[in-house]
Each structure stands twice: as structure tokens, then as C-alpha cells.
Amino acid sequence: MKKWASVLAVASLSLGCGNQSPSAENTTPGSAAATSGTATEAAAPAAALPEFREVTVPSGTELRLQLRSGVASDTSKVEDAVRAELRQAVSIDGKTVLPAGTELTGAVTDVERSGRVKGRAHVAYRFNSLNYQGERYPITTAPLSHTAEATKGKDATKIAIGAGAGAAVGALLGGGSGAAKGAAIGGAGGTGAVLATRGEEVRVGSGATVTTRLTAPLTVRVRVS
């Protein structure tokens, strides 16, 4: 009986050893590698996104511009588009906020051709939009206006030439009284020429330099370097 009891004990021990779970050392290499890869990915830092800050350009700041489209009293119409670019950068606290070349757009606000009797030609416009780093900002600027030169001196010269020529012809034909009549007729002819002729038009071509200013603050998003 003792012998059979010993045999049964040995058999029981053998079965117990066979049913033990695998140790940590038996973990498959693939599982360990997957765990390691996941940890590495979690530890990798996210790609840095560009940072921006808002900067306000105060009202009254001068904008020195170069026109990219021309305006003229005899060809422009109200609401015609006008384009320009900054020819000089705008800086705040020593740092450039709006670089040279920044685009501005606006429109013609008033236009008048030169009159035959009186009235000087003029054309006016203002800028209301700014394009910076792919974003468009509404702006408020002082209007710009160009007026043709006065022609009174030229008109007086035309009348004087007409009177002088008439007087010369009258003197040849009828002496002193003829000269007076000729002067009157010549003067009237000169006046007629003035009335029939328009004054000077005003034309400002592409590439012309002009200066305006902000009449309200402008806030833009500036990339932080």
C-alpha cells in the first residue's frame, strides 16, 4: 500500500508541473516589439505649428505708396478700381509689420473733366482694403485727390494774341480806327477759342508715388519668427 501511495504522489506532481502557465520569459518577440513601437510613438513630440500675434497699426500712420494702376480725369469713372503697393515698410517698435510690396486696393470716389469756361479737372480716390500674408483686411484711409493746373494765364495769352493780330491787320487796312476795330475783333476771336477749348486734364499714371494715412487703427496677425 505504501508503494502505491508513493506512485500516486509522483504522478500528481508530474501533472501539476505540466499545467503551469508560460513564464514572462516565453512572451513572443512580436508582442514586445509592438509594445515598444507604441511607446515610442507616444513619446514623439507633435510638429510645431506656426505662431501668430496681433499687432495694431495706429490711426494716423503714413502709408507711402506706388500706384499700380493709373487714374485720369478724362478716362476714370467713379467706383473704378485703384491698386497700389507699399513702397516703404511700416514698422512698429522697430519691427516690420507691413513689408514693402504689401498690396492695397481702393476705388475712384470722384472725377470731373476740365470745363470749357471754368472748372479745373480733378480725380479723387481712396484705399479700403489691404492684402497681407494671404489675408484681406478692411482699412480706412484719407482720400487722395489730384487737380489740374489752372489755365488762366494761357487763356489770357490766347486772347492777347488774338487782339494783337487783329490790331495789326486793322492798322494795315484802316489806320488808327481800323486798328481799334481789328483789336476788338481779334480779341473776340481769341475769347471764342478759349471757350471752345477744354482746360488741362489731370492724369496720374501707374508707377506714380503718393502718400496717404490711416484714419482708423488696423490690426493684423503677424507670424512670430
pLDDT at position 169: 47
Residues of the chain with pLDDT under 70: 1-50, 115-118, 151-198, 225
pLDDT at position 139: 97
What 3-state class would DSSP assign to 74? coil
pTM, two decimals, is 0.59
pLDDT at position 219: 96
For residues 68 and 205, give the distance between their C-alpha atoms in angstroms, rounded to a whole number. 8
What 3-state class would DSSP assign to 204? strand
Contact 214, 48 (CB under 8 A): no
pLDDT at position 222: 86
Contact 216, 57 (CB under 8 A): no
The phi and psi torsions of 72 (rounded to 5 degrees) equal -155, 145
DSSP state of 119: -
pLDDT at position 205: 95
